Amino acid sequence: MQKNVRVLIVVAVSVCLFAQTAWAAQKSLVFGVHPFKSPTTLVQMFTPLMKYLEKELDAEVTFKRAQDYDTAMAALVSGAVDIAYLGPAGFAILDEENPGKIRICAAVENNGETTFKGVIATKKGSGIKSVQDLAGKAFAFGDRESTLSFYMPAYMLMEAQVFDSVTYSFFGTHDKVAANVLRGKAAAGGLKPAVAASYVDKGLEIIAESPPVYEHMIAVGPGVDDATYEKICAALLSVQDETVYKSIKKSLTGFAKVQPSDYDSLKKVIRIVDAKVPK
């Protein structure tokens, strides 16, 4: 009898210690971002959101910028990062490889829309007017895991049946793609519309748009408990201070609820492209 009582006490103490450890973990959360801008710029962009979450969750939220897209995705899956600003392709890839492990809280809303498009741009005066005109030419991609600077433009080249004839290079960021197209290092490149628009005055010209895909999101990794996940989602969907999201991008108008299935069409694009361009 005494032995059973001792066992119950040990179990009870262990449960309490585990609960305290889990509670303590949720009082300190890491917010991760993939490296689509410089570290200083990213801190400025996401500090208002992190401060808002700190207040709503009564928890410390610290910032972490990954060295590359792959590292950012791996950190979220492993639990090194708890909350992440994640690109559409990043989520689609992770959900394919780890079904249900990464949970979406909300997608960003850009000018009231939860979908966006990528573009292919070239240098003005190049004589290139369509995707078909890129046959046999050099093309600039951004990061290998980027939705708008790789997957969507690569898919567009494949749909136009010119992908097999182009030579291509990866330049990392959207800005570097634009810069190398203007320098003549590539005949065209894949970009997000906002970046392409910022280089129009410098000589860039948009020649094609991609099909729409669902937007970037705030997602959580497996280390975040259900209660904290629900609090994060509720905080994002009810935010009143527009600085929280406009610091990320001026055209953002808030956060909106989306479903994992909304990214199924992108998963199809990724499977097609990955089959042609092995990692």
Cβ atoms within 10 Å of 209's Cβ, excluding its own: 13
Give, as one character, the DSSP assignment of residue 113: B
Amino acid at residue number 272: I
Same-domain status, 156 and 71: no
Same-domain status, 32 and 108: yes
Q: What stretches of 58-151 show up as alpha helix (H) in DSSP?
A: 69-78, 88-97
pTM equals 0.81
Give, as one character, the DSSP assignment of residue 149: I
Which H or E run contains 46?
helix 39-57
Among 179, 211, 243, identify where a domain stops: 211
Q: Provide the pLDDT for residue 207.
A: 98
Same-domain status, 100 and 222: yes
Q: How many domains are contained in the chain?
A: 2
Cβ atoms within 10 Å of 248's Cβ, excluding its own: 19
Same-domain status, 140 and 86: no
Looking up tokens 């009582």 gives: 5
Same-domain status, 139 and 50: no
Same-domain status, 141 and 251: no
Among 211, 243, 262, identify where a domain stops: 211
pLDDT of the chain, 279 residues: tens digit per residue: 444 444 334 334 343 433 444 434 468 999 999 988 889 999 999 999 999 999 999 999 999 999 888 999 999 999 999 999 999 999 999 999 999 999 999 999 999 999 999 999 999 999 999 999 999 999 999 999 899 999 999 999 999 999 999 999 999 999 999 999 999 999 999 999 999 999 999 999 999 999 999 999 999 999 999 999 999 999 999 999 999 999 999 999 999 999 999 999 999 999 999 999 988
Same-domain status, 147 and 38: no
CA angle, 211 as apex, 205 and 216 as ends, to 5°? Answer: 95
CATH number, domain containing residue 269: 3.40.190.10
For residue 166, give its domain range: 118-211
Q: Residue 115's beta-bridge partner residues?
A: 214
Same-domain status, 257 and 227: yes
Q: Residue 170's beta-bridge partner residues?
A: 141
Same-domain status, 102 and 136: no
Same-domain status, 122 and 194: yes
Same-domain status, 141 and 77: no
Secondary structure in 3-state letters for 170-185? ECCCHHHHHHHHHCCC
Q: Provide the pLDDT for residue 26.
A: 65
Distance, in Å, from the CA atom of 149 to the CA atom of 179, rounded to the nearest integer, reads: 13
Among 157, 180, 211, identify where a domain stops: 211
Same-domain status, 22 and 37: yes
Write phi, then psi, for 215 (nearest 5 degrees).
-75, 175
Q: Provide the pLDDT for residue 109.
A: 97
Residue 176's closest CA among 221, 134, 154, 146? 146
Residue 25's closest CA among 190, 228, 162, 268? 228
